[in-house]
Structure 1
Amino acid sequence: MKEKTVLIKNAKIVNEGSIFEGDILIEGEFIKEISDSISAKSSDVKVLDVEGSYVFPGVIDDQVHFREPGLTHKATIETESKAAIAGGITSFIEMPNTVPNTTTVEKLEEKFDIAAKTSHANYSFMFGGTNDNLEEILKVDPKNVAALKLFLGSSTGNMLVDNPEVLEKIFKSTKLLIAVHCEDETTIRENLDIHLKKYGNDIPIECHPIIRSEEACYLSSSKAIELAKKTGARLHVFHLSTGKETKLFSNKIPLKDKKITAEVCIHHLWFSDEDYKQKGTLIKWNPAVKTANDREELWKALLDDRIDVIATDHAPHTLQEKKNVYTDAPSGGPLVQHALVAMVEAYHKGKISLEKIVEKMCHNPAILFQIDRRGYVKPGYFADLVVVDINSPWTVKKENLLYKCGWSPFEGVNFKSRVTHTFVNGTLVYQNSKFFDVKPAKRLTFNR
């Protein structure tokens, strides 16, 4: 619903560590004014009374796999960005392990072209590093691309960077923020061999966190951090899954000054190895969901600011693919539609405040990636806004899923809260389960 001027009335605004009641005036793409009470000065102003619901900045998801190009039987930028909008995610950063891999500037620009035509949410992409594309990495303009993604564990295609000399050269050479998937491949292969000899290909899913073990994660994370300290590179470690790894990170300095940062994903905060029995390969992720104690340690590190960002690692596969035996079942699952409400559920359980959710899902990704004028409810910022009714229960069912893959690890979960409205660049794009036929999404830009 494209309106030139929109006035949001009676909102509980969650921003910069506080919650306050007020009105928000949107003009064009931007927030014009925030005040205790704003009056509509003409009949042209669209007034939206949210009646005491909470208004968050739009969530910025720094790690998604939307599968386009090459894997569009699982998902597309259009389908998954639409699901993201329904979940309150207004901006995403997508990963390079599509087919072909996004490891040349030409392939990167092709993805930007697809998103410009089809994305419902604001978008950027990470450029992929390999053992042999340093020349291409050095062509990438840091002002136009979110970051460089390095897989230090298994990945699609030719994206495993396992040559130590190449790795050090990349860390020394690039000005891009380096985001890493950390699992030690040698440790994983050795563990897998042991289990293959014992079980064949049909390894019990409960063995997944033993194969992709705490040690595999810690060994890789600690090496990456050591290399970042040695070279001065700006490092962001994706999807921590172990308590042991959290001890590698600091909360002693403000995020804007940190050179080494960390992320945790929704699934590692929600599930534990006790859930494999019921969920099976539906919760097979890399890194693996580990113990309840690991989950508790991740929560502690999130709340004390050793972990900086909450993301989804949204990575859909078809149900048919997921139902294969262990060695053939791919890792990953869809999460963007339910990430924010899952965190608000944790608020209801007393685990985290709404202010902290906004800090980790909105403010901090904007700070960490130096995203221009997003992630806050502030005058002069893009009006990416999400209205959340925190007392409006609903149940996740197949019929209300928007993922192209048609399933969710949250099916059957009763959430107490729901996203009722989503604004992207000042335009109301989603209201009470209805999408409006507009796509105001933009390419993210960076203040670097």
Structure 2
Amino acid sequence: MNSILIKNAKIVNQGVIFEGDVLIEDDLIVEVATSISAKSSNCVIIDAEGNYLMPGAIDDQVHFREPGLTYKGDIESESRAAVAGGITSFIEQPNTVPNAVTQEILEQKYQLAADRSYANYSFMMGATNDNLAEVLKTNPKNVAGIKIFLGSSTGNMLVDNEATLEKIFSSTPMLIAVHCEDEATIRSNTEKYIAEFGDAVPVTAHHLIRSEEACYISSSKAVALAKKTGARLHVFHLSTAKEMDLFTNKIPLEKKKITAEVCIHHLWFTNEDYATKGNFIKWNPAVKTPNDRKVLWEALLDDRIDVIATDHAPHTLEEKQQPYLKAPSGGPLVQHAVVAMFEAYHQGKISIEKIVEKMCHNPAILFKVEKRGFIKEGYYADLVLVNPGLPWSVKKENIFAKCGWSPFEGFTFKSRITHTFVNGKLVYNAFKVKDIRAGKRLLFDR
């Protein structure tokens, strides 16, 4: 039996922080108490030294690029970056190549992850204008949900047929996650800026091209359709103040049919950063204004927004260094997401309890993930130790993502992940990822 005892930790769970110990046996948490004694001579004891012990974060939106785009990243490289950042479970999106829009292709991705992933994994089934029959075959017990792109994406994944959308929303009992940007508005705005600048459109126009209006038109339609059909809707990577009026904090999360997510980059950067960061903060939806960021924070703290995620989407340095119109959108974030939120804690913007709620508890609740997201006896031992007073600077040599760059490069974080456990295995320690692919397929209580 694998036995690990974590002692002297500040345990963060369900809105409280208390000093105590956690006993792990094999892949499960078997005891949580103020003081635990080792029950066998071969029990490994880890002194947390008063640092914070939190559940492993669950990132409900990543793009790990496998299959088909593995020169940017792959399941092995990006899951290593995730565990180094305290993310022990991820839900990956279907816009790989080929798109995961059939059950056969979807299952192939699970088979790849079974051999290669350091973190726990699930993959979303992708919807198109013409694959409803395949979507309806999706097993709610072992697939996180259905993903619909209401803005442009790889291949055939833009769903713009309103009759098809209504059929998907009214037919599937599964969670439907959406990327909301109105394609017609974006096209019109792009044409306007090309008419003015030609091929030299500046990146500072990105938030004006992929505008507040483009986001709101799409997200408001999705919310209205969910209300009409009774669908279970989760809106990814919200970026505008205006959209916050679409969501409520009047209902407990367990009863919400419509839930909301914000990503690290929309909480951290604003359009004022384009001048120095350029395409390295080019995401879809775009990073918007300081006021948008301010209202996103307000909505996160008052529970209109339920989840913090990354939308981790690596591209090569060469791709990002192209002119704005050619440079792809997206960037690597899994390694720095938890410490970025701890930075916000140091700045007085959010409590550690709230960070854990939004990055660990809530994704587990709204996706109904089995036995993860909490520090509870009988739950899987996905655990992370965070030292809040161990500064470190992001440099190329300590970036785990395959693309080798980060929008946080040069920034010094005050906090650092010291240990990450996945299913009871210590996979990250002393700033190194061990060669232990401990990830398991996520299952769901549905």
Alignment TM class, shorter chain as reference = over 0.9
Distance 2:273 2:202 in 1: 13
Range that drifts further, 40-49 or 102-111:
40-49
Q: Which amino acid aligns with 1:263?
A: E
- Name the counterpart of 1:260: 258
Distance 2:23 2:64 in 1: 33
Distance 1:201 1:166 in 2: 35
SS, match of residue 32 in structure 2 = strand
- Name the counterpart of 2:48: 50
Normalised by the size of structure 1, how large is the TM-score?
Answer: 0.99
Q: CA deviation at 1:175?
A: 1.3
1:117 has 2:110 as partner: no
- Name the counterpart of 1:226: 224
- Of 17, 27, 31 in structure 2, the residue corresponding to residue 29 of structure 1 is 27
- Name the counterpart of 2:424: 426
1:236 has 2:234 as partner: yes
- Name the counterpart of 1:401: 399
- Of 160, 163, 166 in structure 2, the residue corresponding to residue 165 of structure 1 is 163
Matches within 5 A, 1:68-107: 68-107=66-105
Range that drifts further, 196-205 or 56-65:
196-205
- Name the counterpart of 1:186: 184
Q: CA deviation at 1:299?
A: 0.1
> What is the CA deviation profile of residues 152-182 of structure 1, one whole-angstrom value per residue up to 9, with x for unaligned ones?
0010110000000100011011111000000
- Name the counterpart of 1:149: 147
Distance 1:414 1:140 in 2: 43
Q: CA deviation at 1:50?
A: 1.0
Distance 1:389 1:143 in 2: 36
Q: CA deviation at 1:41?
A: 2.2
- Name the counterpart of 2:3: 5
SS, match of residue 124 in structure 2 = strand
> What is the CA deviation profile of residues 79-100 of structure 1, one whole-angstrom value per residue up to 9, with x for unaligned ones?
0000000000000000000000
Q: CA deviation at 1:44?
A: 1.0
Q: Which amino acid aligns with 1:203?
A: V
Matches within 5 A, 1:257-406: 257-406=255-404
Q: Which amino acid aligns with 2:114?
A: A
Q: CA deviation at 1:115?
A: 0.2
Q: CA deviation at 1:202?
A: 1.8
> What is the CA deviation profile of residues 230-286 of structure 1, one whole-angstrom value per residue up to 9, with x for unaligned ones?
000000000000000011100001001000000000000000000000000110000
Distance 2:433 2:405 in 1: 20
Q: Which amino acid aligns with 2:413?
A: F
Q: CA deviation at 1:124?
A: 0.2
Distance 1:327 1:345 in 2: 32
SS, match of residue 247 in structure 1 = helix
Distance 1:435 1:72 in 2: 20
- Of 200, 208, 213 in structure 2, the residue corresponding to residue 215 of structure 1 is 213
Q: CA deviation at 1:364?
A: 0.1
Distance 2:106 2:330 in 1: 23
Distance 1:222 1:57 in 2: 33
SS, match of residue 277 in structure 1 = helix
> What is the CA deviation profile of residues 185-222 of structure 1, one whole-angstrom value per residue up to 9, with x for unaligned ones?
00000000001111112211010000000000001000
- Name the counterpart of 2:39: 41
SS, match of residue 131 in structure 1 = coil
1:67 has 2:65 as partner: yes
- Of 435, 438, 442 in structure 2, the residue corresponding to residue 437 of structure 1 is 435
Q: Which amino acid aligns with 2:139?
A: D
- Of 166, 172, 175 in structure 2, the residue corresponding to residue 174 of structure 1 is 172
Matches within 5 A, 1:194-205: 194-205=192-203
Distance 1:281 1:439 in 2: 33
Distance 1:252 1:192 in 2: 38
Q: CA deviation at 1:325?
A: 1.1
Identity %: 70
Normalised by the size of structure 2, how large is the TM-score?
Answer: 0.99
> What is the CA deviation profile of residues 52-76 of structure 1, one whole-angstrom value per residue up to 9, with x for unaligned ones?
0100000000000000000000000
Distance 1:186 1:219 in 2: 10
Q: Which amino acid aligns with 1:392?
A: L
Q: Which amino acid aligns with 2:263?
A: C
Q: Which runs of 5+ in 1 are unaligned?
A: none
Distance 2:340 2:420 in 1: 17
Distance 2:137 2:40 in 1: 50
Query: Where has structure 1 moved over 6 Å in runs of 4 or more?
Result: none
Q: CA deviation at 1:326?
A: 1.4
SS, match of residue 235 in structure 1 = strand
- Name the counterpart of 2:13: 15
SS, match of residue 156 in structure 2 = coil
Q: Which amino acid aligns with 1:260?
A: I
- Name the counterpart of 2:244: 246
Q: CA deviation at 1:437?
A: 2.4
Distance 1:41 1:52 in 2: 22
Q: CA deviation at 1:435?
A: 2.2
Q: Which runs of 5+ in 2 are unaligned?
A: none
Distance 1:371 1:444 in 2: 7
> What is the CA deviation profile of residues 397-418 of structure 1, one whole-angstrom value per residue up to 9, with x for unaligned ones?
0110011000000001110000
> What is the CA deviation profile of residues 384-434 of structure 1, one whole-angstrom value per residue up to 9, with x for unaligned ones?
000000000000001100110000000011100000000000111110112
Q: What is the CA RMSD across the aligned residues, in angstroms?
A: 0.6
